[in-house]
Amino acid sequence: MLSKDSDRENSLKIPPTRWYRLLAAAGLRNPEVHGPARYWLQVEGSFTQALKHRCLESFHVEVAREGYATPFPEEVRRLGLQPRQQAWIREVRLCGDGQPWVLARTVIPHQCFEGKGRQLRHLGNKPLGAFLFSSPDWSRGPLETGLCLPDHPLQPRLARRSLFHHGNNALMVGEYLLPVLYR
């Protein structure tokens, strides 16, 4: 029998995900995107702020891992990186009222660390959104919708992602909704 601990650990893994430029196109594959999760898939502005509004008591960011690693081939293509180029990868859990609601994965090519961008390497438990949305240098591209392929019932099934641009540089933020957020 699976223990509670291994259930929790499994639910906190980011599953492989297929990305769609349009929510409607993802909806043809999985109508769940039009259900209660839709608000979270489309909310504009800072996701951290939107989650904070939903909290009754507290919000915090838990860093799962952070450091240089090789992005997935699909991320390499989307960001236009060189094959096998390493990037700074930050994976966190966005937690509301003491439990994980969203898993986030951000791919930051090293060029983004120029100038004020060097702060991106030292975020720790401070939300990335606080930096991106308070800095006029960064602008967000369109939101994409992700359909995940979970191998555990508590893993994310739906996700969103977007690029944030600063001049010719871009980083990519993916947010994977845990079912507990919208069920």
Ligand X SMILES: C=C(O[C@@H]1C=C(C(=O)O)C=CC1O)C(=O)O
Binding site for ligand X (CB under 6 A): 46-48, 61, 90, 92, 94, 104, 106, 127-129, 132, 173, 175
The length of the chain, given as a count of residues: 183
Quick one: 27 or 174, whose CB is closer to ligand X?
174
- Specify the residue, 2 or 146, whose C-beta has the smaller distance to ligand X: 146
Which one, 111 or 135, has the nearer CB to ligand X? 135
Annotated binding residues for substrate, as ranges?
Answer: 90, 128, 175
- Measured CA to CA, the distance from residue 129 to residue 182 in angstroms comes to 21
Closest separation in Å from C-beta 28 to ligand X: 26
Q: Which helix (H) or strand (E) holds 148?
A: strand 144-148
CB 143 within 8 Å of CB 42: yes
CA 29 vs CA 145, 148, 157: distances in Å? 11, 11, 12
Shortest gap between Cβ of 23 and ligand X (angstroms)? 17
Q: Identify which of residues 81 and 172 has a Cβ nearer to ligand X in the complex.
A: 172
b/e sequence 99-134, b meaning 16+ C-beta within 10 Å: ebbbbbbbbbbeebbeeebeebeebeeebbbebbbe
Binding annotation: 90, 128, 175
Q: Which residue is nearest to ligand X (CB)?
A: 129
CB of 39 to ligand X, least distance (A): 14
Q: Are 164 and 176 in contact (CB under 8 A)?
A: no
Q: How far is the CB of 12 from ligand X (least distance, A)?
A: 14
